[in-house]
Structure 1
Amino acid sequence: MSVKKYDAEKPNLVNSIVCAIDILGFSQMIVDSCRDGYGSNLLREINYLINKNKQCIVPNKYSQGKIKVFTDNMVVGYPIDDDGEDELNEILENVSEYQFNLSLEGLFVRGGISIGEFYINDDIVFGPALLDAHNTESTIACYPRIVLDDKTVKRLKKYMDYYEIAPQHQLLFVDTDGQWFLNYLNTIFKFYRECNNEYEFERIQIELLLRHKEKIEEMLKVYKANIRVWDKYVWTANYHNYFCDLHFPNEKHLKISRKMLLSWPREISLKDF
């Protein structure tokens, strides 16, 4: 049986796993940078970061996955062979790593994942799975999270039923609104290859979580006066704190203070005039 792929010569819809990703606040970054005279610098920085980190999404020449980037948006498609479990696992792990890497640079993303008919080449992305993934990203994700749509969750539950402890279990969390989303901080457990011992492994994990914490705290301060955007980073902080409680309960310094996540009223003072 031939491996399914996106044929550049004869475009044809292929049953696929599709992820649509958007960088939070990117439009405002463009406006601010061009107004303040550093637009070209931002362009070069974003271009470097996206090109550097997108390599983890399609990690080798044998993968049939394809990527298309336009401005602050990215679409990733993996054609499905057999029952699709391998492809779904690959996109969950690789997109999580991409999301994690960008978060350490202060770029937080939201996205949607769907399953269905899809096609991608150098010039076009097309198909209902793209529309479903984009709709999930734009109307359901809301926060810096990559959400699986109902079709994807249904498919994933079938895979997970095969196992006593499913390999996908650590890759996902369920939010208070019932949405399944990528647990991208789980990426820190992939760095064991770089470590010589268990102590070194934990040291790297803690350093990465501290960097993630610092970037969230930075965003909370920047958007303190913009409650709509600030609330998105409150969500991210709560996710960060939950992950730390789950895996590093004794490392209290990893957590973001609750004082930063609440709105505190006060009396009017001279500084208000």
Structure 2
Amino acid sequence: MSREYDSNQPSLINSVVCFMDILGYKSLGKNALKENNGDTAEDFLRNLHNSLRKAKRSITPDPSLPAKVKVFTDNIVIGWPILEDGETELGTTFVNIANYQLQLALDGFFIRGGISNGKHFMDEETVFGPELFETYTLESEVAVFPRVVLSNKSKELIKRFNTEYYGGVGSPFYEEILEDMDGEWFLNYLIATKDEDRGVFNLRLIEIHKQKVAAALSDYSSNYKLLKKYAWIANYHNFFCDKFLIDAEEYKIDTPIQMSDPRQIST
């Protein structure tokens, strides 16, 4: 069986699949367009375009790899055919998406999405398969907050892989995936602030992330529905500071809504 998407003979291939979009894109765009000053819409367009272009480098695979990425403004679909057990493809997808999320967040754009694994096909013209619909449902109905959540099938894969890492503590997924207060597993994208060569976190990026989230909390202080979503990011940010950083009180965010902390999946 082929392990690449073949446009000449389209077929469904076992793959890691991700669907994402930008939180509040419609609202952000409408607000920019209705400002009296036309420069506001132009500035928004330039900021969005530049941010998406920079972030796309994180998820655009090497041309020699079979992975495919399709981006249409705020909608992103990734398909990566699985060659063996899926650990490499799943892990690489997590790393790439964490970097993508972080890059957009540092520009004030926050992502919601879903990741699954199963049958999928995509090329330049077509994206199709049960996991496309699964990840779309995860994004639109399950994620709720600005987080990229995992399907049950992806959870089961990680549980299986973790048994090979002494209960999970030595697993690469130990830092990459968190379990939220509602039991959903989501991508710990702030882990992308870590300099792997030096083994330390980039505190400048943590500070920028803090500023962007604080600004969103201020902007949506009178809109409880959106305020709660950005408060989720603030709570996640503060958990990350407590769990992964040392003496990081100055980097934490004052949030109007307190939520229960997530936890690492092997504990």
Provide the TM-score with structure 1 as the length reference: 0.87
SS in 2 for 1:162: helix
Residue 181 (structure 1) aligned to one of 183, 186, 190: 186
Partner of 1:155: 157
Matches within 5 A, 1:15-54: 15-36=14-35, 37=38, 38-54=40-56
Residue 242 (structure 2) aligned to one of 211, 227, 245: 245
Contact 1:23–1:107, Cα closer than 8 Å, also in 2 = yes
Q: CA deviation at 1:40?
A: 4.0
**One-letter amino acid of the counterpart of residue 107, structure 1:** F
State the percentage of identical aligned residues: 37
Q: Which runs of 5+ in 2 are unaligned?
A: 259-267
Q: CA deviation at 1:163?
A: 1.2
Contact 2:61–2:67, Cα closer than 8 Å, also in 1 = no
Provide the aligned length of Structure 1 versus Structure 2. Answer: 252
Residue 213 (structure 1) aligned to one of 201, 210, 213: 210
SS in 1 for 2:164: coil
Partner of 2:226: 229
Partner of 1:123: 125
Contact 2:51–2:103, Cα closer than 8 Å, also in 1 = no
Contact 2:61–2:68, Cα closer than 8 Å, also in 1 = no
Name the CA distance, whole Å, in 2 between partners of 1:55 and 1:68.
Answer: 12
SS in 2 for 1:161: helix
The CA RMSD measured in Å over matched residues stands at: 1.7
Provide the TM-score with structure 2 as the length reference: 0.89
Contact 1:20–1:75, Cα closer than 8 Å, also in 2 = yes
Q: CA deviation at 1:43?
A: 2.8
Name the CA distance, whole Å, in 1 between partners of 2:60 and 2:84.
Answer: 19
**One-letter amino acid of the counterpart of residue 143, structure 2:** A
Name the CA distance, whole Å, in 2 between partners of 1:4 and 1:249.
Answer: 44
Name the CA distance, whole Å, in 1 between partners of 2:61 and 2:136.
Answer: 23
Range 3-12 or range 150-159, more displaced: 3-12
Q: CA deviation at 1:21?
A: 0.4
Name the CA distance, whole Å, in 2 between partners of 1:43 and 1:127.
Answer: 32
Q: Deviations over 1:173-207 (max 9, x none)?
A: 10011111000001111x344x6xx7xx55xx111
Contact 1:3–1:81, Cα closer than 8 Å, also in 2 = no
Partner of 1:171: 176
Q: Which runs of 5+ in 1 are unaligned?
A: 263-273
SS in 2 for 1:16: strand
**One-letter amino acid of the counterpart of residue 145, structure 2:** Y
Name the CA distance, whole Å, in 1 between partners of 2:46 and 2:11.
Answer: 35
Name the CA distance, whole Å, in 2 between partners of 1:192 and 1:14.
Answer: 32
Q: Deviations over 1:55-107 (max 9, x none)?
A: 11134222211111123110111111111111000101111110011100000
Range 218-227 or range 116-125, more displaced: 116-125
Residue 80 (structure 1) aligned to one of 82, 86, 90: 82
Name the CA distance, whole Å, in 1 between partners of 2:247 and 2:78.
Answer: 38
SS in 2 for 1:18: strand
